[in-house]
Chain A
């Protein structure tokens, strides 16, 4: 069964460093999403992406964040200069039309 994959599973970085979180969505899906979950809190929407551009973003998704689909398979989230409060689980999701399918997540720890 096709699934969304994410790498790495865990990333540890120093404050101020850039990180890139990678996702491979399900191959025939057209809509892509990033969500995050700070420990002990609910999952929050970051950004949606369709037709090679951002279709919606939350107020969390400021200038420090960017997304890219560099080729036909990967979908990446870049955080330019990480802050302590960026420590969270980051989930990628994709959908063909409506139902979203989630990846296993990347746990980002900022020290």
Chain B
């Protein structure tokens, strides 16, 4: 059983579209990371949140602790947003447990 589920697995959209990526987890967590992984492989932390909503530029992350669900939104998507977006959670300890990622492709 996967502790962290992401949907969709793959997403292709036109430039300018509003993007939503979802993450659900099966047990209580202390916090959640949204990460971005580019084709070269490096991982960049986008957000860490434990409640509510955070915004950074065109990126917005929300979390609903009761429903065990988080979403990552990208407004006015651009081809440079093409990457794999990964949800990772702290299951009450130090280590992160990762989802399988959502591969996003933005077509010009």
Contacts and interface: CB of A to CB of B under 8 A. Distances in A.
B45 interface: yes
A101 B45 contact: yes
Contacts of A37: 41
B36 to A, nearest CB: 10
Given A99-B48, A105-B41, A42 B99 contact: yes
A56 B93 contact: yes
B41 A104 contact: yes
Nearest to A99: B48
Interface stretch (A15-23, A43-51, A65-73, A77-85): A43-51
Given A42-B99, A43-B98, A44-B98, A102 B44 contact: yes
Interface residues of A, number: 25
B88 interface: yes
Given A35-B96, A55-B94, A98-B48, A43 B88 contact: yes
Interface in B45-70: 45, 48
A105 B42 contact: yes
Nearest to B30: A98
A58 B95 CA distance: 9
A105 B43 contact: yes
6 contacts: A31-B94, A42-B100, A43-B98, A45-B95, A105-B42, A105-B43
Interface of A: 31, 33, 35, 37, 41-45, 48, 50, 55-56, 58, 89, 91, 98-105, 107
Interface of B: 31, 33, 35, 40-45, 48, 86, 88, 90, 93-101
